[in-house]
Amino acid sequence: MSAPPPSPGSNPVPADSPALDDDGAAVGYPLLDLIESSPDALRELERERLPEVCDELRRFLLEAVLSTGGHLGSNLGVVELTVALHRVFDFRRDRVVYDTSHQAYPHKVLTGRRHLFPTLRQTGGMCGFTNPEESEQDLFHLGHAGTSISLATGLARATAHEPDPPSVVAVIGDSSLGAGVAFEALNDAGSAGEKLIVVLNDNEWSISRSVGSLGRYLSRIRSNRTLQRAQQEIHNLIASIPLIGDRVERTLDQVREVLRHSIVAGHVFEELGVTYVGPLDGHDVDQLVSRLEAARELDGVVLLHTLTQKGKGHPDAPTHPERVHAAKPPKSITAPRATPESIKVQPSGGCLEGTTVEAGISHTEAFASALAAEVERDPRVHAIVAGMPSGTGLVQFAERFPARFHDVGITEQHGVAMAAGMAKAGLRPVVAIYSTFLQRAYDQVFQEVALQNLPVVFAMDRAGLVGQDGPTHNGVFDIAYLRTLPNFTLCAPRDATDARRMLELGLRLDGPTGIRYPRGSCPGRERVHESERAAMVPGLAEVLLEGEDVVIWAYGALVPEAILAAERLRERGILVGVVDARFAKPLDEERLAKDLRSHRLLITLEEHQRAGGFGSAVLESASRMRGARAQIRVLGIPDRFQDHCTRREEQLARCGIDADGVERTVVQFLERSRV
């Protein structure tokens, strides 16, 4: 999440706010209160008061989201859109699907959840996306972009045969419309003919600026609208000069004719069988109501192209590099709890009783700086992102190496296949992508990369639990969905040094590599100096602590949790070994066989679903080994989706994969085996 919140008190108050206190600040939300009093209140309110509703709603969002953090720019941009939708439709009967649904906060306010905003994205609090568990008017729990038109098409097709089917509306952003699945949906719906309204919320922004030719096309329509306005002004001016007016007017008509043939707004959609309406002012709530009422009566797919400002009403938005896409939660909400017996480890491997474990740079920053070093060393290295330059830490990289950086927009499938093409041509592409969003391109990972055995490196960020975004964003399936693919090397660094070493390795290997790392910080102090570390070769684990009866095989960013648990147990006289597995594929089977023979308990620890992850790989490997006497305990995420939490650490604790969970597992085993 980017966008530091503006200084307190800089919240703008709309000019015509209904009531002001004596120092000029608007007071309360009388219209939002009224709307909450009855589900039909918004539809019964005098139409000329709708702009006031929008002002209150925007003011509320600014105050609420700046105090908790969350998605801001997108929500500020759809205030009028959402008020108009809820004015025209009754979504207790009609159906609305918000694409990605990060922009559904106004919808949540208008559907009785204003009181939940102080708990937004916090443990046990309101979800940051639509969620059917919260309201009957939230049809899906979403978070991945591009699928709203498909979902809406399904809803419409299911009721098309009914005598009076509900209206179905999809709200999709300009960048999400660029996702392949969105065009798959338009291609089908445009020919099938069921009634469906698609509201295109075009603000010319993704998280960063929108990319791709569709974005440029939409901007041309937008600028064409500007052109139209200019034409009108020229027309008015000329009309005011009677002498030359007629001659120039005729010329203007010719110019207009040329333009009409060059940019017929929306013809791309019309060619798909979609009725294009627009471009419309996405902040003119009265016009939007009229257009939605008209669209409701039309047959087939109607696309309303609305032009909005991402971050409208936020004083910093016009100059913010991501139009305040996200407001950081204040420290008071997400500061990690001080761990009571935190340990500061020192390079020599010894341990100091200590103050809190200092957080190092983020795993994202560690990857980004390693990649910058590689790009300078090897001209074949290129970086590919799918609409997430800042989330993957590559904004500066893009500025430094523009020719080696490719943001393909929200088109993960294309990005992965393009990487395969680059690798085939001799480049060394690195696909920097959230683990959860790589799922969108699984078939390309299989066919275009693994089957061809091409040297593509997947830098899987947010691999693990992500905290406030919840189950749509937890990257907890990648070991399972990649481990079954032949030719893949899978690894996970415990710290920044190994992140760099694994990237170096991946760029040397001839086949595909997946490197996973979570949202959050690397250890501030690294346990073993680089010069003393085991060579970074596929299938070689590294012993960090020797123990007696019990050994923990930890994978990736949870290695520090294993060390913390081992240090605590050591203080209780229980000597537990810790091995940094480093590779989930291939496993270090030689070291594993040895440990299975020489210990009574081997614990695997990973930030991934238990099913199919690193622990499963160990179990499969152990089942083929002779003389293994150790019991194996797989510590991972249980078989259910993990709800959002204020902090990722809470999710780790909830799943029993933090130091406490490891310590409990060891003590329980020893107590049971003593009996």
Ligand X SMILES: CC(=O)[C@@H](O)[C@H](O)COP(=O)(O)O
Ligand Y SMILES: Cc1ncc(C[n+]2csc(CCOP(=O)(O)OP(=O)(O)O)c2C)c(N)n1
What is the footprint of ligand X within residues 34-93 (CB under 6 A)? none
Of 256-264, 462-470, 533-541, 645-653: span binding ligand X (CB under 6 A): 462-470
Options 114-122, 345-353, 384-392, 636-644: segment touching ligand Y (CB under 6 A):
384-392
DSSP letters, 273-320, are TPEEEEEEETT-HHHHHHHHHHHHTS-SEEEEEEE--TTTT-TTGGG-
Stretch in the footprint of ligand Y (CB under 6 A) among 54-62, 97-105, 459-467, 505-513: 97-105
Count of residues for the chain?
675
Q: Is 276 in the site for Mg ion (CB under 5 A)?
A: no
Q: Is 440 a catalytic residue?
A: yes
Residue (of 615, 603, 609, 592) closest to 666 by Cα position? 603
Is 644 a binder of ligand X (CB under 6 A)? Answer: no
Distance spanning both ends of the chain, measured CA to CA: 50
Q: Cβ 656 to Mg ion, closest distance in Å?
A: 40
Is residue 101 involved in binding Mg ion (CB under 5 A)?
no
Site residues (CB under 6 A) for ligand Y, limited to 189-218: 201, 203, 205-207
102 makes contact with ligand X (CB under 6 A): yes
Calpha distance 620→611 (Å, rounded): 12
Active site residue 412: yes
221, two tokens: 């329509």
> To the nearest whole angstrom, how small is the minimum distance from the Cβ of residue 176 to ligand Y?
3
> Using the rule CB under 5 A, is 173 a contact of Mg ion?
yes
Interaction pattern, residues 123-162, with ligand X; x per rule: CB under 6 A: --------------------x-------------------
Binding mask 201-220 for Mg ion (x = CB under 5 A): --x-x---------------
- Select from 483, 450, 492 the least CA-distant residue to 606: 492
Under 8 Å CB-to-CB from 48, ≥6 apart: which residues? 286
Which residues contact residue 536 at a Cβ distance below 8 angstroms, ignoring those fewer than 6 apart?
Answer: 498, 501, 502, 504, 505, 582
In the complex, least distance from residue 575 CB atom to ligand Y, rounded to whole angstroms: 45
Phi, psi angle pair for 597, to nearest 5°: -80, -35
* Residue 599 engages ligand X in binding (rule: CB under 6 A): no
Query: Among 108-116, 172-180, 551-559, 667-675, which window interacts with Mg ion (CB under 5 A)?
Result: 172-180
Taking Cα atoms as reference points, which of 443, 479, 481, 454 lies closest to residue 464? 479
Residue 466, binding choice from ligand X, ligand Y, Mg ion, none, Cβ under 5 to 8 Å by partner class? ligand X
Q: Cα–Cα distance between 632 and 551 in angstroms, integer?
A: 10
Give which of 91, 135, 96 is closest to 113, Cα–Cα: 135
Question: Tokens 């030689």 — which residue?
Answer: 590
The binding track of 396-435 with respect to ligand Y, each residue x by CB under 6 A or -, is: --------------x-------------------------
Q: Would you state the structure tokens that stand for residue 204, as one six-digit string?
A: 């010319």
* Residue choice 75, 100, 150, 513 for contact with ligand X (CB under 6 A): 100
Looking at residue 382, its amino acid is H
Task: Select 284 or 643, whichever has its Cβ closest to ligand X.
Answer: 643
Residue closest to ligand Y, measured at CB? 173
Considering only residues 276, 397, 405, 437, which one is a binding residue for ligand Y as defined by CB under 6 A?
Answer: 437
Per the structure block, which two tokens stand in for 377? 């060393």
- 466 touches ligand X by CB under 6 A: yes
- Other CB atoms closer than 10 Å to residue 460's CB: what's the count? 28
Exposed e or buried b per residue across 308-335, where buried means at least 16 C-beta atoms within 10 angstroms of its C-beta: bbbbbbbebbeebebbbbbbebeeebbe
* Whole-number Å distance between alpha carbons of 549 and 378: 46
What lies within 8 Å, CB to CB, of 274 at 6+ separation is 186, 189, 190, 198, 300, 301, 302, 303
Examine residue 648 and tell whether it contacts ligand X (CB under 6 A).
Answer: no
594 is catalytic: no
Q: Please indicate if the annotation marks 174 as binding a ligand.
A: yes
Cβ closer to Mg ion: 175 or 411? 175
Exactly one of 108, 440, 501, 610 is catalytic; name it.
440
Question: Which residue lies nearer to ligand Y by CB, 76 or 496?
Answer: 76
CB of 255 to ligand Y, least distance (A): 32
Distinct helix (H) and strand (E) counts, the chain: 25, 23
Q: Is 102 annotated as a binding-site member?
A: yes
Stretch that binds ligand Y, among 141-149, 279-287, 478-486, 654-662 (CB under 6 A): 141-149
C-alpha span between 183 and 147 (Å, rounded): 10
Nearest to 478 by CA among 468, 466, 467, 496: 466
The one among 1, 32, 479, 515 contacting ligand X by CB under 6 A: 1
Shortest approach of ligand X to residue 462 CB, angstroms?
6
- Among residues 80, 194, 322, 412, the one annotated as catalytic is 412
Residue count, binding to ligand X (CB under 6 A): 11
Closest-approach residue to Mg ion (CB): 173
For 12-56, give the DSSP string: ---TT-S-B-TTS-B---HHHHHHHH-TTHHHHS-GGGHHHHHHH
Nearer to ligand Y, 82 or 616 (CB): 82
Note the residues at the interface with ligand Y (CB under 6 A).
74, 77, 100, 102-103, 143-146, 173-176, 201, 203, 205-207, 310, 386-388, 410, 437, 440
Note the residues at the interface with Mg ion (CB under 5 A).
173-175, 203, 205
Binding residues for thiamine diphosphate: 102, 143-145, 203, 314, 412
Binding residues for Mg(2+): 174, 203
Note the residues at the interface with ligand X (CB under 6 A).
1, 100, 102, 143, 207, 326, 391, 462, 466, 469, 519
User: Catalytic site residues?
Assistant: 310, 412, 440
